[in-house]
Every structure is written in structure tokens, then in C-alpha cells.
Amino acid sequence: MPAKFTNVVIDGANIGISVSHGTEVVFDGGRISAREIGYQEREPVSLFEHIALPKDTPPDALIDALSLLKSKGERSDEEKVNLIKTSKLKDYLQNSSNLSSTISNIIQLSASPSYLSVISWLRSL
């Protein structure tokens, strides 16, 4: 969905306009006098950032954890947590900003209908 501005006047803000990467932006008027950034197109959040893993997490470590969860079938939440903690992700989980959220996100991803697409995408990295 495009971001449309008509007769735009933005003064004094730190950031005048900030949009998500790939957003279609239509200006009609003008003048943006922001103190720091007039126009900003934000980079998309990576999958690793989205599930709260550190940026330097190798794709094969996430593939390992997801594959372990998938191959073990129905398990209790505690067993799933232990599987993740013993996977190749274990060293990267220590640097996670919120361990419980990260593990919960990985468990949800392993049960997602898009699981196979995510694995395929991770393998292409």
C-alpha cells in the first residue's frame, strides 16, 4: 500500500518520514526540514531478528533446531525447549536478547504451515 502525502510540510522532527523498505511513496507538495533525517527507508527485519536470534546466527544452526523439532514429533514444551538447547543453536541462544521468546518463536516456526518454505529459503543462504 503506498504512502501518499499531499502538500507536505514537516519541520523540526528528528526524522521527517520513515517508511518500510519497498513502500511506494507519493509526494505532491514539498518541504521537509528534519533535524537528522528527512526521508528514511527502513531495511526489512531479517528472519533471525524477527525470532530474536543474533544476526550472526548461521542458517544451518536454525535448520538443525527446526529439523530436530519436526523429526521428534509431538513433545511436551519442556522437551521442545531441551531439543533446541541441545541443537547447533545452543551457542547462539546465549546471545539472544530474550531466551524464552526466542525459543517460543522457534517452536512456533517449526509448527508453521510455511515450515518447508523457510527451510528451503535458509538452505539457499
100: left (phi over 0), alpha (psi -120 to 50) or beta: alpha
Q: How many domains does the chain have?
A: 2
Place of cell 536470534: 53
- Residue 107 and residue 63 in one domain: yes
Do 52 and 113 lie in one domain? The reply is yes
Supply the pLDDT for residue 1: 65
Say what the pLDDT of residue 2 is.
Answer: 76
Model pTM score:
0.65
| 100 and 79 both lie in a single domain | yes
Q: Are residues 59 and 96 in the same domain?
A: yes
> Could you list the residue range(s) of the whole structural domain that residue 94 is in?
47-124
Q: What is the pLDDT along the chain (125 residues), one digit of tens a residue?
A: 677 878 878 887 788 778 777 778 888 877 778 778 887 887 766 888 888 898 889 999 999 999 999 998 888 989 999 999 999 999 999 888 788 999 999 999 999 998 898 999 889 87
- Measured CA angle at 43 (ends 34, 27), to 5 deg: 45
Q: Are 66 and 118 in the same domain? A: yes
Same domain assignment for residues 69 and 103: yes
